[in-house]
Chains A and B, each alone.
Chain A
């Protein structure tokens, strides 16, 4: 009888593992391993993981409150969204002012530019976090692909509004 119980429990365990792989496929993609980056001359010249960004996706991520949430603090040329923040500088024309590498450094870890900044490091080594909630343990705020998407989007902002 105990053996049968054991078999039953181990079967349940296996089913649970299979279910979690099937259902949690997308969340597994989020928990990709952290790719270290190098600062050179106040910029990160190399794209994270050599990935290529898509500006259309980048715009969506910039708006998404659970992803970039850029509008919380910055003004962006996104007329369909209300109440753009004023904590950080407006980002109209940022593609003229900064290079891809400079933009990447500021998204990845603005504290490298200004140690006092309020801006979160969207691709910082997760080991540095203090009292991080369990759900975010070991995770960067954005994935490497999402960072590259936002870099690609911000590079398209080459007009300064009046």
Chain B
């Protein structure tokens, strides 16, 4: 009888893994924190959104501004495309993130210098644009030319790093729902990024969060904007296909 249960347990788990259901990190929050996230007056990341909004409308030395092409308050932006990043760039023959695209715009259309990846301005613009796309369903391409990059990201997700020899999958697949000391392990979904982190009181980009995890494994992080992190972002974002954007979310 016990063996039958064991078998059923294994079968149930295997099928659960196959039909992976993405669950937003918000589902793991207390009701109080979730309310704070929804409330634009209480959400502590809103100053970052406002900062991004001001940059979006600011005229640079060459007389260009984002809103020149994308409309006042981004009303000409294709919001469903914001939910599709990283997207495949035919010219560069690689996936590019929203931050990469912002720099392409700055260099090619605004005659301006590119920003450093994950700098304050970048995170401000990214937070603002994703905030505009709140509620959009995430649809990231993983097939066709994206396949090798997606597979590379998947491999990173499962690679053991640092002195702790842990991988992303250990916490966010094997042990999600468990308590790691005072913190519930969630699925590690990226649909709320950039997020406001309660444990550091900072707005944190996805690549920055990757680095924070690697530091906790006592591992040398990769650089923000590195190929490794872009591939990992591709895998992690695609893993949340079907979720809706919640930027700026609040997380532990």
Q: Which residues of A contact B (CB under 8 A)?
A: 71-73, 82-87, 111, 116, 118, 120-121, 124, 126, 128-136, 139, 141
Contacts and interface: CB of A to CB of B under 8 A. Distances in A.
A73 B170 CA distance: 12
Contacts of B180: 72-73, 85, 87
A118 B219 contact: no
A121 B166 CA distance: 10
B82 to A, nearest CB: 32
B179 A131 contact: no
Contact of A87 (B163, B185, B218, B220): B185
A130 B162 contact: yes
Interface of B: 159-166, 170-171, 174-175, 178-182, 185, 214-215, 218-220
Given A86-B179, A118-B174, A131 B219 contact: yes
A85 B163 contact: no
A130 B159 contact: yes
B181 A131 contact: no
Contacts, number: 69
B219 A132 contact: yes
Contacts of A124: 165
Nearest to A118: B170
B157 to A, nearest CB: 14
Contacts of B178: 85-87
A124 B218 CA distance: 14
Nearest to A130: B161
Nearest to A117: B170
A111 to B, nearest CB: 8
B181 A83 contact: yes
Contacts of B166: 118, 120
Given A83-B182, A85-B181, A132-B220, 5 more contacts: A73-B180, A84-B181, A111-B165, A130-B162, A136-B162
Nearest to B171: A118
4 smallest beta-carbon distances between A and B, as pairs: A118-B170, A83-B182, A86-B179, A120-B164
A127 B188 CA distance: 29
Contacts of B159: 130
Given A131-B220, A133-B218, A82 B164 contact: no
Given A87-B175, A116-B174, A118-B175, A133 B182 contact: no
A87 B171 CA distance: 9
